[in-house]
Chains A and B, each alone.
Chain A
Amino acid sequence: MADTQSVTYTLEMVAEYADGDTRTITQENPDTSIDLATKIKELGAFCKATQVIIGDKTGADFKRFKSSRTRRRTITKLDLS
């Protein structure tokens, strides 16, 4: 048997708050077939309007998602047989 490989993706979104603090929220299995950038901007507008998430240092208001990226991790299972 040969080595096998699998790939997983993680989405990281950096939220920025009114006191200048930032926080990264991660999610597994981002859907890379959709326009993630637009959806994240829309999610940012929703979070700003509703303030569902707040800063962890001073409870500051959510401003926007400052940046976002997807991380790809390749896992190689080595054949030890």
Chain B
Amino acid sequence: METSLIVNTTDTSNKKIQKTITYANPNATNANLKLFAQKMTGLTTNTFEGANRVNKQDVDEPDGGGSSKLTPTFTAVFDRRALTGSYTYNGDGEVFGYAETSVFSEVIPELLLIDHQNKILGFSEDVDIIGSDVTLKLYASEGENYAAASCIASIVEDTE
């Protein structure tokens, strides 16, 4: 599902302006979308009139919206390594992770994606290390529902 936000405003000569912002979050609440539209308008001399949410759903998706966007929190297992990150699920069995770490490139983080029942959904693969930033891709099993999950990170020292 793709969601767009149409923001309706009028300018200082009362002319109507309609602005469409694509790739709004399908899981965003209407209240937050309205706040976002108002704050965007607050950067301008236009007056906020209202906003509309447009949900676009592929007809191949199951009725009722299909899988939801996954944004679990990234938890570091080892305290001495500070890790922050976020993950998103693209709806196709792939979870993309982005982590920032204060450790350096010889230490490779290993990540597990687990659901709220502590079942392991996937392991990290294709780790790219750019400087001290680590970009990870996690591949999770097909057909799972990722409405709620968390990530556990552990640091695996390179033993070579």
Contact = CB atoms under 8 A, between A and B. Distances in A.
Interface string B17-59: 1010111110110001101100110111110000000000000
Nearest to A19: B96
B135 A43 contact: no
Contact of A60 (B40, B91, B98): B98
B23 A43 contact: no
A61 B17 contact: no
A58 interface: yes
A28 B17 contact: yes
Contacts of A50: 28, 32, 35-36
Interface residues of B, number: 36
A36 interface: yes
Interface of A: 11, 18-20, 23, 25, 27-31, 34, 36, 39-40, 42-43, 46-47, 50-56, 58-61
B12 A29 contact: yes
Contacts of B27: 51
B36 A61 contact: no
A54 B21 CA distance: 11
Interface of B: 5, 11-12, 17, 19, 21-25, 27-28, 32-33, 35-36, 39-40, 42-46, 69, 71, 85-91, 94, 96, 98, 135
A22 to B, nearest CB: 12
A46 B23 CA distance: 16
B23 A53 contact: yes
Given A50-B28, A54-B24, A61 B86 contact: yes
Contacts of B35: 46, 50
A48 B42 CA distance: 18
19 contacts: A20-B98, A23-B23, A27-B43, A28-B17, A28-B44, A46-B35, A51-B28, A52-B24, A52-B25, A53-B21, A53-B24, A54-B24, A54-B25, A54-B69, A54-B88, A59-B88, A61-B86, A61-B87, A61-B98
